[in-house]
């Protein structure tokens, strides 16, 4: 099942691109696959976007996301970004 895109994802993508990051949305893949693949200054980032304006109970990972993180998290950090500041901070752009 394809997943819904969080309301702040386009804002996060725009901010990442504004600092020179290459961003590929993977949101349409669904099945727990993270929302974004980001390349910045020679490093790769895999990130799940959650809407930071929602209460914490509405920002939890789905069972499919938890399973994906468990399966692939051994080889790469899977970031969870709730805001532009978190995303930019994670890639070292602040």
* Dist. CA 45–CA 43, nearest whole Å: 7
pLDDT per residue as tens digits for the range 52-82: 999 999 999 999 999 999 999 899 999 999 9
Is residue 1 pLDDT above 60, yes or no?
no
CATH of 9-91, one of 3.30.420.40, 3.40.50.12280, 3.40.50.720, 3.40.1350.10: 3.40.1350.10
Calculated CA dihedral for residues 9, 52, 57, 2, nearest 10 degrees: 0
Alpha-carbon torsion (76, 63, 35, 1), positive or negative: positive
| 68 CB-contact burial (10 Å; exposed 0-12 / middle 13-18 / buried 19+) | buried
User: Domain extents for the chain?
Assistant: 9-91
The pairing of strands 43-49 and 22-25 is unpaired
83: pLDDT strictly greater than 90: yes
Mean pLDDT for 9-23 is 98
């Amino acid at each position: 099942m394809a997943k819904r895109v969080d309301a702040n994802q386009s804002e996060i993508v725009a901010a990442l691109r504004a600092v020179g990051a290459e961003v590929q949305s993977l949101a349409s893949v669904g099945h727990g696959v993270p929302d974004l693949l980001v390349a910045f200054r020679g490093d790769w980032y895999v990130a799940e976007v959650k809407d930071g304006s929602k209460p914490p109970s509405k920002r939890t990972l789905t069972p499919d996301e938890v399973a994906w993180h468990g399966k692939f998290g051994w080889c790469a950090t899977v970031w969870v970004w709730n805001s532009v500041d978190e995303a930019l901070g994670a890639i070292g752009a602040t």
